Amino acid sequence: MSYRRSQDFYISSMIQFNCDGSLSTTTKWTVKNCTSISCSFEIVLNEKVMTTFSELYIPSRTLDYGVYQLTLTVTMIDLPNLKSSSSVYVRITATGITANLVQLGTSMITRGNQQDLLLDPGTFSVDPDEDTFDATKWKYTYYCRIYGLYNFPNIQGILLSIGDSTIDPYNPSCLSSRSGNGTGWIFGNLTLSPNSSLTVLGGSLQENQIYQFMVYMENRKNSSIQATGYVLVTVEVTHPQLIAVGCVISTMCVPNLEFQLLNPTTQVALFTLCIGTCTNLQSIKWSIYQ
């Protein structure tokens, strides 16, 4: 059996007796970590995990990645030498992170043409397998295009990242400083988690345009573990506050690259955060567009 580390799981058992006399028993679950050779190292479980029932409930994030042997031993109380055991093997796998460029995984934001734009997947991404996201475990590559007019700059299908001096004549760069002098953007956290944030400086984006930014994240230890995140940025000749939108129950909004998936037969509750100085809010209005 296989479970994600972010999943709770439950193992039940069926105990059948073929004997006369007292049927009073004790039950005990043990969990051992397995290697390619054997399952010999017993795991000390959290005291909240009840191991003396015929069923075993394992909360999410209890076990690390790997293969485990879960063994139930049933012992007759009157005849303690009479016991029987049965095992099941469980593999704990990674859930996969959600790459968020802005707070709450908001899909579209509005910024002023003279405002700096902070994209910070190292802070805002989510790892369901952990309590917090560890930005140091990932490599970050950013891409940008003018949404609706051009594709992401590429050469024969190979994407050109922000900062790449190569020019795609058919899909121009978002930033005028593409030559590599770095005046249009700043990468952050260069020591602990290089490039885990990107600041696009005010004046680098054209007003009355919609830009799409993409981040590609690759695990430093295992390049096959990857994630991609997107955000649309509308640029106006104003100085708006940054509004982030999220789901009250996050599991009801499933990220699907550029959008959030919702069940059309289920209610959904959204909430907002106003990022920055938002003390003079006069009204809040929600609109729905198809």
Give how many domains the chain has, as a whole number.
2
Q: Pull the structure tokens for residue 92.
A: 């704990």
In which residue are the tokens 């968020």 written? Answer: 100
CB 20 within 8 A of CB 67: no
Rounded distance between C-alpha atoms, residue 129 and residue 244, angstroms: 24
Q: Is the pLDDT of residue 17 over 90?
A: no
pLDDT, tens only, 129-153: 998 999 999 999 999 999 999 999 9
Domain limits for position 110: 103-242
According to the model, what pLDDT value does residue 164 have? 86
Entry pTM = 0.80
pLDDT, tens only, 65-107: 999 999 999 998 887 888 889 999 999 998 889 999 999 888 8
With a CB cutoff of 8 Å and minimum separation 6, the contacts of 181 are none
Q: Is the pLDDT of residue 21 over 70?
A: no
pLDDT, tens only, 244-288: 888 888 777 777 666 777 778 878 888 888 887 777 777 888 888
Q: Pull the structure tokens for residue 126.
A: 């989510």
According to the model, what pLDDT value does residue 179 have? 41
Residue 288 lies in a domain: no
Same domain, 42 and 140: no
Same domain, 128 and 82: no
Q: Which helix (H) or strand (E) holds 122?
A: helix 121-124
Same domain, 116 and 182: yes
- Residue 251 phi, psi dihedral angles, 5° rounding: -70, -15
pLDDT, tens only, 158-215: 999 998 888 899 998 887 544 445 568 899 888 888 999 999 998 899 999 999 999 9
CATH code, domain with 77: 2.60.40.10
Among 93, 122, 156, the domain-final residue is 93
Same domain, 142 and 52: no
